[in-house]
A and B are shown apart, each in its own frame.
Chain A
Amino acid sequence: MEHTETNHTKTYLKIFGALAVLTIIEVIISQSGMPQTPMVVLLIAFALVKAGLVALYFMHLHYDAKFLSIIAYAPLVVASILIFMLAMEWTFQPHWLF
Chain B
Amino acid sequence: MSEIALSHQTEVHEHHAPVYTSTGTPMGKVFMWLFLCQDALMFMGLFAAYISVRIGQSSLWPSPNSAHMPGMEHYPLDINLTAINTFILICSSVTMVMAVQAARTQSKKGLIKWLLLTALGGAIFLSVQVYEYRHLIGEDGMGMEKSLFDATFFSLTGFHGLHVFSGVVYLLCVVIATKLGPKPHSENGWVMTIMRLIAIGLPLYLWFGPLHKWPPLPHVLVSILAGAVPYIIIRSVKWLRERPAYTQGDDIEVVGLYWHFVDLIWIILFTLVYLI
Q: A interface vs B, CB < 8 Å?
A: 1, 3, 5, 7-9, 12-13, 16, 19-20, 23-24, 26-27, 29-31, 33, 36, 39-40, 43-44, 46-47, 50-51, 54-55, 58-60, 64-65, 67-68, 71-72, 74-75, 78-79, 82-83, 86, 89-90, 96-97
* Alpha-carbon distance A97/B23, docked complex (angstroms): 48
Q: Judging by beta carbons under 8 Å apart, are B97 and A31 in contact?
A: no
- A68 to chain B: which residues have CB within 8 Å? 25, 29-30, 33
Q: Judging by beta carbons under 8 Å apart, are A82 and B55 in contact?
A: no
What is the count of residue pairs linking A and B with beta-carbon distances less than 8 angstroms? 126
Size of chain B's interface in residues, with CB distance under 8 A?
Answer: 55
- B56 to chain A: which residues have CB within 8 Å? 96
Interface of B is mostly: helix
Q: Judging by beta carbons under 8 Å apart, are B96 and A58 in contact?
A: yes
B195 at the interface (CB under 8 A from A): no
B251 at the interface (CB under 8 A from A): no
Which of A59, A78, A86 contacts B260 (CB under 8 A)? A59
* Alpha-carbon distance A86/B26, docked complex (angstroms): 38
B51 at the interface (CB under 8 A from A): yes
Q: Judging by beta carbons under 8 Å apart, are B64 and A65 in contact?
A: no
* Alpha-carbon distance A55/B96, docked complex (angstroms): 14
Contact digits for B71-94, partner A, Cβ 8 Å, 1 yes 0 no: 000000001100100110011011
Shortest beta-carbon distance from B201 to chain A in Å: 31
Q: Judging by beta carbons under 8 Å apart, are B87 and A20 in contact?
A: yes
* Alpha-carbon distance A12/B90, docked complex (angstroms): 11
Q: Judging by beta carbons under 8 Å apart, are A8 and B275 in contact?
A: no
Q: Can you offer 5 A-B residue contacts whose CB atoms are under 8 A?
A: A26-B271, A30-B65, A58-B263, A75-B44, A86-B48
Q: Judging by beta carbons under 8 Å apart, are B101 and A9 in contact?
A: yes
- A19 to chain B: which residues have CB within 8 Å? 90, 267
* Alpha-carbon distance A64/B104, docked complex (angstroms): 16
Q: Judging by beta carbons under 8 Å apart, are A47 and B271 in contact?
A: yes
Q: Judging by beta carbons under 8 Å apart, are A89 and B52 in contact?
A: yes
* Alpha-carbon distance A1/B276, docked complex (angstroms): 46
- B104 to chain A: which residues have CB within 8 Å? 3, 5
Q: Judging by beta carbons under 8 Å apart, are B267 and A50 in contact?
A: yes
